[in-house]
C-alpha cells in the first residue's frame, strides 16, 4: 500500500529493461515493473519529449499490476535525444503496438497524463480492442485553441513568464512565437537551438504546479526533448485533424475511464477535461480543487492511485 507520507506506492526497480530499434533512426527505451502475472498497464509520459521518471512506476500496486513504461521517440533514454524526424503520433502508436506484441499482451489498461492523455486517446481510438480502459490526467486534446492557450493565453496568469519567453525573439517575429521558436529549436546549430530549447522548457516548467516549487537542477535531456518535440508537435497540430479526438470518441466510449484534472491547471486548462467527459458519458471526471498540472501534486497523485485501484478485479470497474 502507499506509505504514510505519500499517496504513491513505494519505489520499485524494473524487473527488466532494454532498448528496441523501431526504425533506421529511432531506438526506444522500455522497462517492465511489478507482477509479471498482474493486470497489464501501459504508462504514457507527457511532453512530448518529457521522458520517464522513477516516480511514474509508483502509481500502480506492484503486487497487482504488470507495468510497461517506455520513453517515446526522442525522449529520455531513447535515442537520438530530441530527434523530430520520423516522429509523429501515428508512429508512436505503431511503437506501442510493437511493444504490446513484444510483451505478449492482448489487452491493457492505458494510463497517460498531459500529452500522455493525448497519445492514450489516439492509441485507444486506433486500437480499441487492445484497451481495458483508461486513466487520464491533465487532458490535452491538441486543438488549435489549446495550443494558442499554451503559447499566448497563459500571459493572463503568468505575464512575467510570457515576457521572458518572448524577450529573445525579435519584435517583428513575436506575432507567431510558435513559428519563431520552431525555427530556432530545430536548427542544426547548437548555439541557436540550446538557448531556445531551454527557454521553452522553462516557460512550461515554471507553471506546472499550483504552488511554487524549488528550481530544479538544469536538465539538458529534459530541455532538449521537451523543447524540440513539443514545438514540433504543436506546429503540426499533433498530426491530428482539428478536434479529431473528440469526433472519434465513439470508438472508445464503451470503455471505462477515470479523468483526473487539476482545477487550476495553467498548461492544460479544465475545459478540455470537461469536453472529453461530455463526449464520454461513462467516464468519471474527478476535478482536484487544490491542484495545477503536476502528476505528483498530492491531490492529483492520490486520485490517480485511487483510479488504478478501481481497475483491480472486485473493485469498481474490473
What tens digit of pLDDT does each residue of 172-195 get? 999 999 999 999 999 999 999 999
Say how far apart CA 66 and CA 32 lie, in whole Å: 7
Say how far apart CA 221 and CA 211 lie, in whole Å: 25
Q: In this predicted structure, what is the pLDDT of residue 137? A: 98
| Positions in the chain whose pLDDT score sits under 70 | 1-5, 317-318
**Which of 71, 265, 272, 302 is labelled catalytic?**
265
Q: Which domain holds residue 200?
A: 144-238
> What is the tally of structural domains in the chain?
2
Provide φ and ψ at 65, rounded to 5°: -120, 145
Q: In this predicted structure, what is the pLDDT of residue 152? A: 96
Cβ-Cβ contacts under 8 Å for 132 (sequence gap 6 or more): 39, 40, 107, 108, 109, 110, 255, 311
Same domain (yes/no): 135, 274: yes
* 6 classed as catalytic: no
**Residue 1 resides in a domain:** no
Same domain (yes/no): 175, 273: no
Say how far apart CA 318 and CA 309 lie, in whole Å: 10
Same domain (yes/no): 175, 203: yes
Same domain (yes/no): 133, 173: no
**Which of 56, 71, 95, 114 is labelled catalytic?**
114
* 17 classed as catalytic: no
* 148 classed as catalytic: no
**Residue 194 resides in a domain:** yes
**Residues paired with residue 69 on neighbouring β-strands, in sequence order:** 31, 43
Helix segments in the chain, DSSP class H: 89-102, 115-126, 144-151, 159-166, 177-185, 190-205, 220-235, 244-247, 270-278, 298-310
Amino acid at each position: 500500500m502507499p506509505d504514510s507520507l505519500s499517496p504513491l506506492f513505494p519505489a520499485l526497480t524494473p524487473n527488466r529493461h532494454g532498448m528496441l530499434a523501431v526504425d533506421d533512426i529511432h531506438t526506444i527505451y522500455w522497462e517492465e515493473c511489478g507482477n509479471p502475472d498482474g493486470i497489464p498497464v501501459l504508462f504514457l509520459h507527457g511532453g512530448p519529449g518529457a521522458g520517464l521518471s522513477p516516480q511514474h512506476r509508483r502509481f500502480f500496486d506492484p503486487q497487482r499490476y504488470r507495468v510497461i513504461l517506455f520513453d517515446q521517440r526522442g525522449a529520455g533514454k531513447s535515442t537520438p535525444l530530441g530527434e523530430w524526424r520520423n516522429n509523429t503520433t501515428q508512429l508512436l502508436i505503431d511503437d506501442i503496438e510493437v511493444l504490446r506484441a513484444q510483451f505478449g499482451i492482448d489487452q491493457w489498461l492505458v494510463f497517460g497524463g498531459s500529452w500522455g492523455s493525448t497519445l492514450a486517446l489516439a492509441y485507444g481510438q486506433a486500437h480499441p480492442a487492445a484497451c481495458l480502459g483508461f486513466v487520464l490526467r491533465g487532458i490535452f486534446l491538441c486543438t488549435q485553441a489549446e495550443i494558442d492557450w499554451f503559447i499566448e493565453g497563459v500571459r493572463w496568469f503568468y505575464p512575467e513568464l510570457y515576457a521572458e519567453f518572448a524577450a529573445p525573439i525579435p519584435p517583428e517575429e513575436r506575432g507567431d512565437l510558435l513559428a519563431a521558436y520552431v525555427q530556432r529549436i530545430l536548427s542544426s546549430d547548437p548555439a541557436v537551438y540550446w538557448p531556445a530549447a531551454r527557454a521553452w522548457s522553462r516557460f512550461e516548467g515554471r507553471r506546472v504546479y499550483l504552488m511554487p516549487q524549488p528550481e530544479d537542477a538544469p536538465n539538458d535531456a529534459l530541455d532538449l526533448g521537451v523543447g524540440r518535440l513539443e514545438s514540433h508537435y504543436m506546429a503540426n497540430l499533433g498530426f491530428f485533424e482539428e478536434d479529431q479526438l473528440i469526433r472519434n470518441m465513439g470508438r472508445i466510449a464503451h470503455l471505462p475511464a477515470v479523468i483526473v484534472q487539476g482545477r487550476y491547471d495553467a498548461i492544460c486548462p479544465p475545459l478540455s477535461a470537461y469536453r472529453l467527459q461530455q463526449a464520454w458519458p461513462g467516464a468519471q471526471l474527478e476535478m482536484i480543487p487544490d491542484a495545477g498540472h503536476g502528476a505528483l501534486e498530492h491531490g492529483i497523485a492520490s486520485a490517480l492511485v485511487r483510479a488504478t485501484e478501481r481497475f483491480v478485479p472486485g473493485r469498481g470497474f474490473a
